[in-house]
Amino acid sequence: ATPTAIMVGTGLGAKRGVLFKNAMALETSARIQVVVMDKTGTLTKGEPEVTDVITDSGISEPELLRLVAAVERESEHPLAAAIVRHADGQGLDTVRAQRFENVPGHGAIGHVDGHQVVVGNRRLLEREGIDLGALAAQRDQLAGSGHTAIVAAVDGVAAGVIGIADAARESSAAAVAALHDLGVEVVMLTGDNQATAERIAGQLGIDTVIAEVLPGDKAAKVAELQRDGRKVAMVGDGVNDAPALAQADLGIAIGAGTDVAIETADVVLMRSDPLDVPTALRIGRGTLRKMR
Protein backbone atom coordinates (compact mmCIF):
# COMPACT_ATOMS: atom_id res chain seq x y z
CA ALA A 1 0.00 0.00 0.00
CA THR A 2 1.27 3.43 -0.79
CA PRO A 3 1.70 5.66 2.26
CA THR A 4 -0.52 8.27 0.60
CA ALA A 5 -3.43 5.86 0.06
CA ILE A 6 -3.15 4.68 3.67
CA MET A 7 -3.10 8.25 4.93
CA VAL A 8 -6.16 9.19 2.89
CA GLY A 9 -8.07 6.09 4.01
CA THR A 10 -7.18 6.56 7.68
CA GLY A 11 -8.15 10.25 7.48
CA LEU A 12 -11.46 9.47 5.79
CA GLY A 13 -12.22 6.95 8.54
CA ALA A 14 -11.25 9.33 11.34
CA LYS A 15 -13.64 11.93 9.96
CA ARG A 16 -16.49 9.44 10.36
CA GLY A 17 -15.35 8.13 13.72
CA VAL A 18 -13.97 4.91 12.23
CA LEU A 19 -10.50 4.51 13.74
CA PHE A 20 -8.16 2.17 11.88
CA LYS A 21 -5.31 1.35 14.26
CA ASN A 22 -2.79 0.63 11.51
CA ALA A 23 -2.26 0.20 7.75
CA MET A 24 -2.86 -3.55 8.00
CA ALA A 25 -6.35 -2.96 9.41
CA LEU A 26 -7.24 -0.77 6.45
CA GLU A 27 -5.96 -3.33 3.93
CA THR A 28 -7.73 -6.24 5.61
CA SER A 29 -11.02 -4.29 5.63
CA ALA A 30 -10.98 -4.42 1.83
CA ARG A 31 -10.85 -8.23 1.81
CA ILE A 32 -13.57 -9.14 4.34
CA GLN A 33 -16.09 -11.74 3.10
CA VAL A 34 -17.90 -12.56 6.34
CA VAL A 35 -18.90 -10.22 9.19
CA VAL A 36 -19.68 -11.86 12.54
CA MET A 37 -21.67 -9.67 14.92
CA ASP A 38 -22.16 -10.11 18.64
CA LYS A 39 -25.83 -9.61 19.57
CA THR A 40 -26.02 -7.93 22.97
CA GLY A 41 -24.52 -4.45 22.98
CA THR A 42 -23.53 -4.63 19.32
CA LEU A 43 -26.71 -5.27 17.28
CA THR A 44 -28.84 -4.33 20.30
CA LYS A 45 -28.50 -1.30 22.53
CA GLY A 46 -27.27 -3.37 25.44
CA GLU A 47 -29.88 -1.76 27.70
CA PRO A 48 -31.96 -4.76 28.76
CA GLU A 49 -35.29 -4.12 30.48
CA VAL A 50 -37.57 -6.50 32.35
CA THR A 51 -40.90 -6.78 30.52
CA ASP A 52 -42.52 -9.83 32.14
CA VAL A 53 -42.47 -11.61 35.49
CA ILE A 54 -44.40 -14.88 35.44
CA THR A 55 -44.66 -17.17 38.45
CA ASP A 56 -45.97 -20.60 39.15
CA SER A 57 -48.60 -20.99 41.82
CA GLY A 58 -47.06 -21.00 45.27
CA ILE A 59 -45.05 -17.80 44.99
CA SER A 60 -46.08 -14.22 44.25
CA GLU A 61 -44.41 -12.10 41.59
CA PRO A 62 -42.93 -9.59 44.09
CA GLU A 63 -41.59 -12.40 46.25
CA LEU A 64 -39.91 -14.12 43.29
CA LEU A 65 -38.46 -10.81 42.14
CA ARG A 66 -37.17 -10.08 45.65
CA LEU A 67 -35.38 -13.44 45.92
CA VAL A 68 -33.93 -13.28 42.42
CA ALA A 69 -32.80 -9.65 42.76
CA ALA A 70 -30.95 -10.49 45.98
CA VAL A 71 -28.84 -12.98 44.03
CA GLU A 72 -28.46 -10.80 40.93
CA ARG A 73 -27.23 -7.88 43.05
CA GLU A 74 -24.03 -9.88 43.54
CA SER A 75 -23.60 -10.46 39.78
CA GLU A 76 -21.95 -8.12 37.26
CA HIS A 77 -23.94 -9.41 34.27
CA PRO A 78 -25.98 -6.78 32.35
CA LEU A 79 -29.08 -9.00 32.61
CA ALA A 80 -28.60 -9.15 36.37
CA ALA A 81 -28.44 -5.35 36.50
CA ALA A 82 -31.75 -5.14 34.60
CA ILE A 83 -33.44 -7.41 37.13
CA VAL A 84 -32.06 -5.42 40.08
CA ARG A 85 -33.21 -2.13 38.50
CA HIS A 86 -36.69 -3.58 38.03
CA ALA A 87 -36.90 -4.78 41.63
CA ASP A 88 -35.66 -1.42 42.91
CA GLY A 89 -38.23 0.31 40.70
CA GLN A 90 -40.97 -1.73 42.38
CA GLY A 91 -39.70 -0.57 45.76
CA LEU A 92 -38.84 -4.11 46.87
CA ASP A 93 -36.27 -4.15 49.58
CA THR A 94 -33.83 -6.89 48.82
CA VAL A 95 -31.48 -8.44 51.30
CA ARG A 96 -28.05 -9.65 50.26
CA ALA A 97 -27.62 -13.22 49.05
CA GLN A 98 -25.22 -15.54 50.81
CA ARG A 99 -22.79 -18.02 49.20
CA PHE A 100 -23.07 -16.36 45.80
CA GLU A 101 -21.82 -18.40 42.86
CA ASN A 102 -21.44 -17.03 39.33
CA VAL A 103 -21.88 -19.64 36.58
CA PRO A 104 -20.37 -18.07 33.40
CA GLY A 105 -22.62 -18.29 30.33
CA HIS A 106 -25.42 -19.73 32.48
CA GLY A 107 -26.45 -17.54 35.42
CA ALA A 108 -26.00 -17.41 39.16
CA ILE A 109 -26.82 -19.23 42.40
CA GLY A 110 -27.19 -17.86 45.94
CA HIS A 111 -28.99 -18.29 49.24
CA VAL A 112 -31.63 -15.80 50.41
CA ASP A 113 -33.39 -16.03 53.79
CA GLY A 114 -32.32 -19.66 53.95
CA HIS A 115 -33.68 -20.50 50.50
CA GLN A 116 -31.49 -21.63 47.61
CA VAL A 117 -32.16 -19.49 44.51
CA VAL A 118 -30.98 -20.52 41.04
CA VAL A 119 -31.38 -17.93 38.25
CA GLY A 120 -30.24 -18.10 34.64
CA ASN A 121 -30.90 -19.85 31.38
CA ARG A 122 -32.64 -23.16 30.76
CA ARG A 123 -29.29 -24.93 30.60
CA LEU A 124 -28.47 -23.87 34.16
CA LEU A 125 -31.68 -25.44 35.48
CA GLU A 126 -30.96 -28.59 33.48
CA ARG A 127 -27.48 -28.69 34.98
CA GLU A 128 -29.05 -28.46 38.44
CA GLY A 129 -31.49 -31.22 37.56
CA ILE A 130 -34.53 -28.94 37.89
CA ASP A 131 -37.53 -29.51 35.61
CA LEU A 132 -39.27 -26.38 34.28
CA GLY A 133 -42.66 -28.07 34.40
CA ALA A 134 -45.61 -25.87 33.47
CA LEU A 135 -43.32 -22.84 33.13
CA ALA A 136 -41.63 -24.33 30.04
CA ALA A 137 -44.43 -23.11 27.75
CA GLN A 138 -44.17 -19.56 29.07
CA ARG A 139 -40.40 -19.62 28.69
CA ASP A 140 -40.68 -20.81 25.08
CA GLN A 141 -43.26 -18.16 24.25
CA LEU A 142 -41.06 -15.34 25.61
CA ALA A 143 -37.97 -16.65 23.80
CA GLY A 144 -39.91 -17.07 20.56
CA SER A 145 -40.93 -13.42 20.67
CA GLY A 146 -37.31 -12.24 20.90
CA HIS A 147 -37.09 -11.84 24.68
CA THR A 148 -34.25 -13.25 26.72
CA ALA A 149 -36.08 -15.64 29.03
CA ILE A 150 -34.49 -16.02 32.45
CA VAL A 151 -35.76 -18.86 34.61
CA ALA A 152 -35.58 -19.09 38.37
CA ALA A 153 -35.89 -21.93 40.88
CA VAL A 154 -36.33 -21.75 44.65
CA ASP A 155 -35.15 -24.71 46.76
CA GLY A 156 -34.82 -26.88 43.66
CA VAL A 157 -38.30 -26.17 42.27
CA ALA A 158 -38.92 -24.04 39.15
CA ALA A 159 -40.70 -20.90 40.37
CA GLY A 160 -40.76 -18.28 37.66
CA VAL A 161 -39.77 -16.86 34.30
CA ILE A 162 -38.51 -13.32 33.74
CA GLY A 163 -38.72 -11.84 30.24
CA ILE A 164 -36.08 -9.29 29.29
CA ALA A 165 -36.08 -7.19 26.11
CA ASP A 166 -33.10 -5.41 24.61
CA ALA A 167 -34.08 -3.26 21.64
CA ALA A 168 -32.09 -3.45 18.41
CA ARG A 169 -30.03 -0.37 17.59
CA GLU A 170 -31.85 1.87 15.08
CA SER A 171 -29.42 1.19 12.26
CA SER A 172 -28.78 -2.55 12.76
CA ALA A 173 -31.09 -3.68 9.93
CA ALA A 174 -29.70 -1.02 7.57
CA ALA A 175 -26.15 -2.13 8.43
CA VAL A 176 -26.96 -5.74 7.53
CA ALA A 177 -28.53 -4.62 4.24
CA ALA A 178 -25.49 -2.47 3.41
CA LEU A 179 -23.17 -5.42 4.13
CA HIS A 180 -25.26 -7.57 1.77
CA ASP A 181 -24.87 -4.86 -0.91
CA LEU A 182 -21.11 -5.30 -0.49
CA GLY A 183 -21.53 -9.05 -1.05
CA VAL A 184 -20.68 -9.87 2.57
CA GLU A 185 -22.31 -12.67 4.60
CA VAL A 186 -23.56 -11.61 8.05
CA VAL A 187 -23.46 -13.97 11.04
CA MET A 188 -24.88 -13.39 14.55
CA LEU A 189 -22.83 -14.87 17.41
CA THR A 190 -24.37 -14.90 20.89
CA GLY A 191 -24.53 -16.59 24.24
CA ASP A 192 -28.28 -16.05 24.28
CA ASN A 193 -30.63 -18.90 23.42
CA GLN A 194 -31.40 -20.11 19.89
CA ALA A 195 -35.06 -19.02 19.68
CA THR A 196 -34.39 -15.48 20.96
CA ALA A 197 -31.40 -15.08 18.66
CA GLU A 198 -33.26 -16.40 15.60
CA ARG A 199 -36.18 -14.07 16.19
CA ILE A 200 -33.96 -10.97 16.37
CA ALA A 201 -31.76 -12.16 13.47
CA GLY A 202 -34.91 -12.59 11.36
CA GLN A 203 -35.99 -9.02 12.07
CA LEU A 204 -32.57 -7.73 11.03
CA GLY A 205 -32.14 -9.88 7.89
CA ILE A 206 -29.11 -11.76 9.23
CA ASP A 207 -28.03 -14.84 7.23
CA THR A 208 -26.71 -17.20 9.90
CA VAL A 209 -27.22 -17.56 13.67
CA ILE A 210 -24.72 -19.18 16.02
CA ALA A 211 -26.38 -19.11 19.48
CA GLU A 212 -25.88 -20.55 22.97
CA VAL A 213 -22.12 -20.11 22.61
CA LEU A 214 -20.24 -20.17 25.91
CA PRO A 215 -17.99 -17.15 26.59
CA GLY A 216 -14.81 -19.19 26.05
CA ASP A 217 -16.02 -20.64 22.73
CA LYS A 218 -16.63 -17.51 20.65
CA ALA A 219 -13.07 -17.47 19.23
CA ALA A 220 -13.35 -21.12 18.15
CA LYS A 221 -16.58 -20.31 16.27
CA VAL A 222 -14.79 -17.51 14.40
CA ALA A 223 -11.93 -19.92 13.57
CA GLU A 224 -14.47 -22.37 12.09
CA LEU A 225 -15.78 -19.66 9.77
CA GLN A 226 -12.19 -18.95 8.64
CA ARG A 227 -11.55 -22.59 7.73
CA ASP A 228 -11.93 -22.32 3.94
CA GLY A 229 -9.60 -19.33 3.94
CA ARG A 230 -12.47 -16.86 4.12
CA LYS A 231 -11.61 -13.45 5.55
CA VAL A 232 -13.71 -12.87 8.65
CA ALA A 233 -14.35 -9.68 10.63
CA MET A 234 -15.75 -9.87 14.17
CA VAL A 235 -17.72 -6.96 15.67
CA GLY A 236 -18.15 -6.90 19.44
CA ASP A 237 -18.31 -4.85 22.61
CA GLY A 238 -17.82 -7.14 25.58
CA VAL A 239 -15.01 -8.67 27.61
CA ASN A 240 -16.37 -12.00 26.28
CA ASP A 241 -15.75 -10.86 22.72
CA ALA A 242 -12.03 -10.00 23.08
CA PRO A 243 -10.65 -13.47 22.17
CA ALA A 244 -12.95 -13.61 19.11
CA LEU A 245 -11.86 -10.09 18.08
CA ALA A 246 -8.24 -11.27 18.27
CA GLN A 247 -8.99 -14.48 16.35
CA ALA A 248 -10.77 -12.71 13.48
CA ASP A 249 -8.84 -11.38 10.49
CA LEU A 250 -10.25 -8.00 11.49
CA GLY A 251 -11.50 -7.14 14.99
CA ILE A 252 -13.98 -4.27 15.15
CA ALA A 253 -14.96 -2.82 18.55
CA ILE A 254 -18.01 -0.78 19.40
CA GLY A 255 -16.74 2.50 20.89
CA ALA A 256 -19.17 2.32 23.81
CA GLY A 257 -17.82 -1.16 24.60
CA THR A 258 -15.42 -2.38 27.25
CA ASP A 259 -11.76 -1.31 27.33
CA VAL A 260 -10.58 -4.86 26.63
CA ALA A 261 -12.60 -5.03 23.40
CA ILE A 262 -11.33 -1.62 22.28
CA GLU A 263 -7.71 -2.53 23.05
CA THR A 264 -7.94 -5.87 21.23
CA ALA A 265 -9.65 -4.58 18.09
CA ASP A 266 -8.01 -3.39 14.84
CA VAL A 267 -10.80 -0.89 14.19
CA VAL A 268 -12.88 1.11 16.69
CA LEU A 269 -16.30 2.56 15.83
CA MET A 270 -16.40 5.76 17.88
CA ARG A 271 -20.10 6.40 17.24
CA SER A 272 -21.09 2.83 18.22
CA ASP A 273 -23.17 2.74 15.05
CA PRO A 274 -23.44 -0.63 13.25
CA LEU A 275 -23.73 1.29 9.94
CA ASP A 276 -20.07 2.20 10.39
CA VAL A 277 -19.16 -1.48 9.80
CA PRO A 278 -20.02 -1.32 6.06
CA THR A 279 -18.47 2.17 6.04
CA ALA A 280 -15.17 0.70 7.29
CA LEU A 281 -15.22 -2.01 4.60
CA ARG A 282 -15.99 0.55 1.88
CA ILE A 283 -13.11 2.80 3.00
CA GLY A 284 -10.81 -0.25 2.90
CA ARG A 285 -11.93 -1.14 -0.62
CA GLY A 286 -11.50 2.45 -1.79
CA THR A 287 -7.99 2.54 -0.39
CA LEU A 288 -7.03 -0.70 -2.12
CA ARG A 289 -8.37 0.55 -5.46
CA LYS A 290 -6.22 3.66 -5.26
CA MET A 291 -3.16 1.49 -4.68
CA ARG A 292 -3.50 -0.34 -7.98
* 74 binds ligand ADP, rule: CB under 6 A: no
**Is the CB of 40 or the CB of 264 nearer to ligand ADP?**
40
**50, 69, 117, 150: which one binds ligand ADP (CB under 6 A):** 150
What is the C-alpha to C-alpha distance for residues 221 and 225, in angstroms, rounded to an integer?
Answer: 7
Ramachandran region of residue 190, left (φ > 0), alpha (ψ -120 to 50) or beta?
Answer: beta
* 278 binds Mg ion, rule: CB under 5 A: no
**29, 36, 37, 38: which one binds Mg ion (CB under 5 A):** 38
DSSP 52-99: EEEE-TTS-HHHHHHHHHHHHTT---HHHHHHHHHHHHTT----PPEE
Give least dist CB 20 to ligand ADP, A.
Answer: 26
**94, 148, 264, 279: which one binds ligand ADP (CB under 6 A):** 148
**Is the CB of 9 or the CB of 236 nearer to ligand ADP?**
236
Give least dist CB 156 to Mg ion, A.
Answer: 31
- Nearest 5°: the CA angle 172, 121, 37 is 25
What is the C-alpha to C-alpha distance for residues 251 and 241, in angstroms, rounded to an integer?
Answer: 10
Asked whether 153 and 118 are in contact (CB, 8 A), the reply is yes
Exactly one of 38, 166, 241, 273 is catalytic; which is it?
Answer: 38
* 75 binds ligand ADP, rule: CB under 6 A: yes
Among 40-48, 82-90, 98-106, 205-213, the segment contacting Mg ion (CB under 5 A): 40-48
**18, 26, 70, 79: which one binds ligand ADP (CB under 6 A):** 79
Query: Residue 202, exposed/middle/buried by CB under 10 A (0-12, 13-18, 19+)?
Result: exposed
Active site residue 249: no
**Is the CB of 120 or the CB of 163 nearer to ligand ADP?**
120
- Nearest 5°: the CA angle 129, 132, 135 is 170
List of residues 6+ apart from 71 with CB closer than 8 A: 97, 100, 108, 109, 110, 112, 117, 119
Q: At what angle do helices 172-181 and 194-204 cross, to 10 degrees?
A: 70
Q: With CB cut-offs between 5 and 8 Å by kind, which of ligand ADP, Mg ion, none does residue 192 bind? A: ligand ADP
* 238 binds Mg ion, rule: CB under 5 A: yes
* 215 binds ligand ADP, rule: CB under 6 A: yes
Residues making contact with Mg ion (CB under 5 A): 38, 40-41, 237-238
Residues making contact with ligand ADP (CB under 6 A): 40, 72, 75, 77, 79-80, 105-108, 119-121, 148, 150, 190-192, 215, 240
The residues annotated with a catalytic role in the active site are: 38
